[in-house]
With several copies, the nearest count.
Chain A
Amino acid sequence: MTIHERSWPSDGLTRIPYWIYSDRDLYAEEQARIFRGDTWTFLCLEAEVPRPNTFRIANLGDMPVVVTRDKDGVIHAFENRCAHRGSLLCLKQRGEAKEIVCVYHNWTYDLSGNLTGIAFRRGVGGKGGMPADCKPDQHAPRQLRVETFAGLVFGTLGTGVPAVEQYLGPEIAAKIRRVMKGPVKLLGGYTQMLPGNWKLYIENVKDSYHASLLHMFFTTFRLNRLSQKGGLVVSEDGGNHISYSMTADVAGKEYEQAGLRTAHSGYSLEAPELLQSVDEFGDGIGLQILSVFPGFVLQQIRNCLAVRRVVPQGLDRTELAWTSFGFADDDEKMTELRLRQSNLIGPSGLISMEDGAATGFVQRGIRGAGEEESVVEMGGSGTSSEESRVSEAAVRGFWKAYRRHMAI
């Protein structure tokens, strides 16, 4: 069914209808209205196009994109689709190039995405070729509007979207600057293919309630207990969020008292160096998870820093692309700390492996759910920032933004 034929439950943001994760028509509409609409999508780190004449492929939803840094150092992004017959222009993940040549018929583009050459435009021996009135400058891949913020490259096809900093809102912008404190050094990356709809993963990220319950490792080592000082920030429009907690533990016993599965207080590490860390930001915040609508995540877990790109690959498949980084001025010891802590994240992450699977648990759980609805009432029905993370406010915030973009 198309979005027009659907109607949202009466209880506002505290009830989410399950068809939202399993309607094939909806998927295509989300691509147009959200990912190719008035939203900013994180494309890559500036450090991923480190020098003039370098490029990297990325995505705007499931649309392929090329990000380039031209000879003058300016960053551009355009659809990875030749203006001639639609072939992918870049067939590699990343590389160096002075120009981009489509392999199919050798139409050539500069790194700003301008068509600079049409093979045999004038034919051969005066025969064939393009019409005399052909205007190459009218043929080019769709240009994205690009803005960089604190080392992050964002792109959009939208025409009605404000500047990135305004789109983020002041608190989110500040917390991004906090982490992106200096020139970045790439540490590496990998992707996870998640067996669920993209929205299930984004909800998981924004769901500060699950963190200490699904991830037992997390809780047991007091990396993040809901009883630790911290808070939840939701942007005005609902789409962006921060969840953070202080490292210092208030030594609560709520979990043990509540007899929760996740509280094995007996549990200790033989090799505690795994968790060794330094307060590099000087504010005692040990964990900060930040997301920007629709699909960007910036993560600080102790000294383990990473960006995550959420790329829909169909109704029930989602690519989660991780890029881990440190800073140019890290010494060997600092890099080793980050690398050791990266045992906590990714597909084998001691505190993250469950998230990928959780999207699948829900996608399979709702297979027969049809018109049923999920319950999102933790912390009430609002979407405002609060001190407590025992709340689904950021999840409700996501749906607030989603409904606005989808006009439902």
Chain B
Amino acid sequence: MNLERQLAVQDLNARYVDAIDEGRFEQWPDFFADDGHYRITTAENVEQGLPLSIIYATSRAMLRDRVRALREANVYEAQRYRHVLAPPRIEPAGEGSVRAQTSFMVARIMHTGETALFATGRYVDRVVLAGDAARFADKTVILDSRQIDTLLAIPL
């Protein structure tokens, strides 16, 4: 295990979830490479070899559109997430990039005070390490559950 890379990915993960948990959605696309892919799907779809996603973006621009929609178009009650992540398990993926897999639990807290365990699963990522800037070339969020409570507005 290459400690330096391990910590680089761990730091990327930490900054990524902090941006989401603190509602800095505008920064979210910047954690991805220009042509970065992002999708959310379920373990059930993955196991059945079915391609459907809950969110599916093939470029940073699509992520910016998603943020724009969240800010300007979509209607949802005030809510926040709290992520807790396990340390990532990483392995080399050739030329300055690594594969990383990270378990997560996410609680959702509504403005009413209601708190619930909202999602669990794992991130399956390819991270490019260009100099000291680490970015997601590909991030797949695989939810353990097939079921979402009410809606999934804020990205995971």
B103-146 contact mask (Cβ, 8 Å, vs A): 1 or 0: 00000000111000000000000000000000000000000001
Q: Is A294 an interface residue (CB 8 A)?
A: no
Q: What is the CB-to-nearest-CB distance from B43 to chain A, in angstroms, rounded to a whole number?
A: 11
Nearest A residue to B76 via CB reads A357
**Given A342-B53, A347-B54, do A188 and B75 touch, yes or no (CB 8 Å)?**
no
Of the residues A93, A193, A216, A270, contact of B65 by C-beta under 8 Å: A270
Q: What is the CB-to-nearest-CB distance from B138 to chain A, in angstroms, rounded to a whole number?
A: 15
Collect the chain A residues with CB atoms within 8 Å of residue B150's CB: 192-195, 347, 356-357, 360
Contact between B73 and A347, CB atoms less than 8 A apart: no
Contact between A339 and B51, CB atoms less than 8 A apart: yes
Contact between B147 and A192, CB atoms less than 8 A apart: yes
Of the residues A186, A273, A356, contact of B151 by C-beta under 8 Å: A356
Q: What is the CB-to-nearest-CB distance from B108 to chain A, in angstroms, rounded to a whole number?
A: 12
A258 to B145, CA, bound (A): 39
A103 to B51, CA, bound (A): 33
Q: What is the CB-to-nearest-CB distance from B39 to chain A, in angstroms, rounded to a whole number?
A: 9
Q: Is B14 an interface residue (CB 8 A)?
A: no
Contact between A93 and B111, CB atoms less than 8 A apart: yes
B8-52 contact mask (Cβ, 8 Å, vs A): 1 or 0: 000000000000000000000000000000001110110010111
**Given A103-B75, A342-B56, A354-B74, do A188 and B65 touch, yes or no (CB 8 Å)?**
no
Of the residues A190, A267, A356, contact of B73 by C-beta under 8 Å: A267
**Given A103-B75, A220-B73, do A348 and B55 touch, yes or no (CB 8 Å)?**
yes
Contact between B151 and A267, CB atoms less than 8 A apart: no
Contact between A354 and B41, CB atoms less than 8 A apart: no
Interface size on B, residues (CB 8 A): 41
A86 to B56, CA, bound (A): 34
Q: Is B85 an interface residue (CB 8 A)?
A: no
A143 to B77, CA, bound (A): 25
Collect the chain A residues with CB atoms within 8 Å of residue B53's CB: 188, 339, 342-343
Q: Is B86 an interface residue (CB 8 A)?
A: no
A340 to B65, CA, bound (A): 13
Collect the chain A residues with CB atoms within 8 Å of residue B73's CB: 216-217, 220, 264, 267, 350
Contact between B76 and A189, CB atoms less than 8 A apart: no
A339 to B76, CA, bound (A): 24
Q: Is A335 an interface residue (CB 8 A)?
A: yes
Collect the chain B residues with CB atoms within 8 Å of residue A350's CB: 66, 69, 73-74
Contact between A190 and B77, CB atoms less than 8 A apart: no
Contact between A274 and B52, CB atoms less than 8 A apart: no
Q: Is A155 an interface residue (CB 8 A)?
A: no
Collect the chain B residues with CB atoms within 8 Å of residue A192's CB: 147-151
Collect the chain B residues with CB atoms within 8 Å of residue A339's CB: 51-53, 56
Q: Is B1 an interface residue (CB 8 A)?
A: no
Contact between B45 and A271, CB atoms less than 8 A apart: no
Q: What is the CB-to-nearest-CB distance from A382 to chain B, in angstroms, rounded to a whole number?
A: 30
Q: Is B78 an interface residue (CB 8 A)?
A: yes
Collect the chain A residues with CB atoms within 8 Å of residue B72's CB: 216, 264, 267
Q: Is A1 an interface residue (CB 8 A)?
A: no
Collect the chain A residues with CB atoms within 8 Å of residue B78's CB: 91-93
Q: Is A346 an interface residue (CB 8 A)?
A: yes
Nearest B residue to A306 via CB reads B52
**Given A92-B111, A339-B51, do A191 and B76 touch, yes or no (CB 8 Å)?**
no
Contact between A216 and B56, CB atoms less than 8 A apart: no
A12 to B112, CA, bound (A): 37
Q: Is A353 an interface residue (CB 8 A)?
A: yes
Q: What is the CB-to-nearest-CB distance from B52 to chain A, in angstroms, rounded to a whole number?
A: 3
A332-370 contact mask (Cβ, 8 Å, vs B): 1 or 0: 000100011011001110100110110010000000000
Of the residues A91, A188, A267, A273, contact of B77 by C-beta under 8 Å: A91
Q: Is B5 an interface residue (CB 8 A)?
A: no
B interface list, Cβ under 8 A from A: 40-42, 44-45, 48, 50-59, 61-62, 64-66, 68-69, 72-78, 111-113, 146-153
Q: List 13 A-B contacts (CB under 8 A).
A: A192-B148, A192-B150, A192-B151, A217-B73, A270-B61, A271-B64, A273-B62, A274-B65, A335-B51, A347-B54, A350-B66, A356-B150, A357-B151
Known: A190-B45, A193-B113, A357-B76. 10 other contacts (CB 8 A): A188-B52, A217-B73, A267-B68, A271-B62, A271-B65, A273-B62, A274-B62, A339-B52, A343-B57, A348-B40
